[in-house]
Amino acid sequence: MKICVLIKQVPDTDSVIKISNDQKSIEMEGITLATNESDSYALEEALLLKEDQGGEVTVLSLGGESCQQVLKDALAKGADKAIHLDDDDYKDLDILSAAKVMVNVLKDKEFDIIFSGLQSDDIGNAQLGLIMAELLDTSHASLVMGTEILDEKTIKVKQELEGGWFQWSELDLPASITIQSGLNKPRYASLRGIMMMKRKPLESIKVSELNLENTSSKSFVHKLYIPQKTKETVFIQGSADQVVDGLIEKLTNEIKVL
Amino acid sequence: MKIYTFLQQNDGKPNRNSLEALAAAQQLAEQTGGSVSAIVFGSNIETITDYDLAEIIQLQNVELENFNPLAYVSAFENLINAENPDMVVFGHTYETRDWVPRLSARLDIPFLTDCIGFKNEDEFVFTRQINQGKINSDVKTTGLTIISIQSGAFRLDSLKSGSASTREFTVDLSGISQSIRKGEKFQEAKGSVDLSRAEVIIAVGRGIGKEENMDVIKELAKALNAEIGSSRPVVDYGWLPHEHQVGSSGQTVSPKLYFAIGISGAIQHQVGMKSSDNIIALNKDENAPIFEIADFGVVADLFEIIPKLTEKINSLS
Ligand SMILES: Cc1cc2nc3c(=O)[nH]c(=O)nc-3n(C[C@H](O)[C@H](O)[C@H](O)COP(=O)(O)OP(=O)(O)OC[C@H]3O[C@@H](n4cnc5c(N)ncnc54)[C@H](O)[C@@H]3O)c2cc1C
Ligand SMILES: Nc1ncnc2c1ncn2[C@@H]1O[C@H](COP(=O)(O)O)[C@@H](O)[C@H]1O
């Protein structure tokens, strides 16, 4: 089984996000970067499949130099190879263009499965896995919560639907599958894994050196801003003791649950 | 501007989020002096003939009777190529997630997902939320564009009624690939916790940090005689069973008090709890989106407040 996992580096969900002066991007200084949450689950699913079926896991990330870190983490956990698509001269690709760039390096590699997260925690397009399926002419499934290989040509996936419903689907391979969080328990890298990582191939390719056609973005960020609050939240302020007293007062007199 | 909007049907009825998207399309048409056509798959259209629409375009084909992403993409590809709309609007439903990105790639046109609005200031832009609702992003596009509308962003009571004629559009889907085969839908066995009946819910999010800290929440819940709810990550990590999860893929609740602790308030969480009578939010980040819907807010470290609060409540009784 040849598996590829697409991994994006994003600001940690705990980060306090500030907008740059140009109002078009996020201030990256002081931000902790991490692996996109659903991508960690996607990687784990790929590693489990490899352990079960044999094969190889390649991880790919498109971004600046810093995203080599998420690739190294993946190699330390057990991925076999990594590809870094360095977009330094090609920032702000929209998701359709980003997919075309990735397809350019993946199209001849004949993966059986491409795993990605269901949605990036920063931009949240919720699209890349399906765009890859279309451009590579494979089957697809989104929001997957379980996988089972049926035979060399078929995979069964459990998809999450709205309102607590699920659905099993069968997909012909190759397939592009987007993973929803919670379907497995992502592993930690072992000490041995971290040692091994240093000997695994990490290839870095500059996007500007690829032979690209038709990759110019068709959507553009016009302006970023902090959302205006519409609700008048009453903030309870002061020292910890004052806040506790304030809460007790609300619970007793206004909400009446004490 | 010629606007097409897709009305997803579920069990013979238009999906609520799709109708909200229709409301968005009507407002978009009003602002741009355009017209709205509704696209429907299947025979059942009585439910939508009362809206203010240029027309209803009906596609009837066996391949479209049940959700089939590849057939849906091809049907829409045919329609759009034949009729050249300027804008196509969807509700941001789970089905939309499972086929519309593919349509966007097939037609090589941009798709802006989960939009909450649009405006025409210095330029015409669509507004999306990024970084889990912490930032709004105004986006512009060129040419034919697909957008999807976030659930709850437009109100059903703003839908304009009227009448509409119906036109059939025929598509040949005989050669459609069968590489994606959808099976039966099912629900998992219900757990023992029914949060929908709870009067007070103490809800815990990733801010709790680690499993060992969960006692801080459990003790407060005990003191207030409350049920415990949670955001998705807490369940994903295995710190609580799934039946405690509140949100679009968990339970929908409306207790007298929903006390959200260390929860950022992503849209998928909000849809499950925003109709609670009273919402208290405690978060160390003053810009957390949860404060957008909270009646009472505390900006603080939960570990400095919650144990003290529990102690004080216990000392009262
Ligand atoms: C299709 C889909 C379905 C989903 N369904 C659901 C669903 O049903 N329910 C759901 O909840 N989510 C759901 N999600 C996930 C959702 O998008 C968010 O990722 C999730 O709700 C975030 O959970 P959180 O607020 O606990 O974590 P985070 O967003 O990480 O927020 C943690 C918060 O804790 C605060 N914090 C940290 N430490 C402290 C401290 N010491 N004291 C006080 N505050 C602190 C931080 O400031 C932060 O705001 C879904 C997502 C998708 C894409
Ligand atoms: N720049 C990137 N590099 C690698 N993978 C990406 C990148 N952008 C998106 N992805 C993958 O696509 C998924 C969905 O992203 P999005 O469509 O932006 O919501 C993510 O969870 C990743 O798995």
Could you give the domains of chain B? Answer: 2-170 (3.40.50.620), 195-316 (3.40.50.1220)
| pLDDT for residue B1 | 92
Cα-based distances in Å from A183 to A46, A175, B114, B254, B258: 12, 18, 24, 28, 27
| pLDDT for residue A211 | 82
> What is the rounded average pLDDT of the residues A30-35?
95
Contact B206, B266 (CB under 8 A): no
- Please name the residues between 134 and 193 in chain A that touch chain B, using a CB distance below 8 Å: 134-135, 138-143, 159-162, 164-172, 180-182, 185
| Identity of the residue in A122, A169, A185 whose CB atom sits nearest the CB atom of B130 | A122
Cα-based distances in Å from B278 to B222, B244, B268, B295: 19, 19, 19, 6
> What is the rounded average pLDDT of the residues A171-177?
98
Contact A54, A74 (CB under 8 A): no
Cα-based distances in Å from B201 to A20, A106, B238, B246, B263: 38, 48, 19, 10, 13
How high is the mean pLDDT of chain B? 95
Residues B167, B55: Cα–Cα separation, whole Å: 7
| pLDDT for residue B46 | 76
> What is the rounded average pLDDT of the residues A140-161?
97
| Å between B37 CA and nearest CA of chain A | 24
Q: Is the pLDDT of residue A162 over 90?
A: no
For B313, which residue in chain A has the nearest alpha carbon?
A: A248
Residue B146: which of A161, A132, A94, A7 has the closest Cα? A94
Q: Is the pLDDT of residue A244 over 80?
A: yes
Question: Would you say how long chain B is, in residues?
Answer: 317
Q: A83 CA distance to ligand 2 centroid (A)?
A: 14
| pLDDT for residue A214 | 80
Which residues of chain B register pLDDT less than 70? none
**Angle, in degrees to the nearest 10, between helices B69-83 and B100-107:** 40
Confidence of residue A15 (pLDDT cuts 50, 70, 90): confident
| pLDDT for residue A159 | 98
Residue B78: is it exposed, middle or buried by C-beta count within 10 angstroms (0-12/13-18/19+)?
Answer: middle
Choosing from A97, A116, A181, A183 the residue with most ligand 2 atoms within 8 A of its CB, the one to mutate for a pocket test is A116
| pLDDT for residue B176 | 96
The dihedral of CA A10, A46, A103, A171: what is its sign? negative
A214 to B299: CB separation less than 8 angstroms, yes or no: no
Which chain A residues have a beta carbon less than 8 Å from that of B153?
none
A238 has a chain B CB within 8 A of its CB: no
Which chain B residues have a beta carbon less than 8 Å from that of A222?
123, 125, 138-140
Confidence of residue A213 (pLDDT cuts 50, 70, 90): confident
Residues A81, A60: Cα–Cα separation, whole Å: 9
SS3 category, B244: helix
Confidence of residue A13 (pLDDT cuts 50, 70, 90): confident
Q: Ligand 2 pocket, A95 CB below 6 A?
A: yes
Which chain A residues have a beta carbon less than 8 Å from that of B294?
231, 233
> What is the rounded average pLDDT of the residues A55-73?
97
Q: Which of A78-87, A205-214, B37-46 has the highest mean pLDDT?
A: A78-87
B312 to A231: CB separation less than 8 angstroms, yes or no: no
**Token couple for B216:** 């801080």
Q: Ligand 2 pocket, A38 CB below 6 A?
A: yes
Best to test chain A binding among B128, B298, B301, B306 (most A CBs inside 10 Å)? B298
Q: Which residue has the higher pLDDT, A187 or A228?
A: A187
| pLDDT for residue A14 | 83
Percent share of chain A, pLDDT over 90: 88
Q: Which residue has the higher pLDDT, A164 or A146?
A: A146
Residue B156: which of B275, B15, B41 has the closest Cα? B15
Which chain B residues have a beta carbon less than 8 Å from that of A176?
none
> What is the rounded average pLDDT of the residues A28-33?
93
What ipTM does this complex have? 0.96
Contact A109, A57 (CB under 8 A): no
Query: How many secondary structure helices (H) and strands (E) does chain B include?
Result: 8, 17
Pairing mode, strands A154-160 and A81-86: unpaired
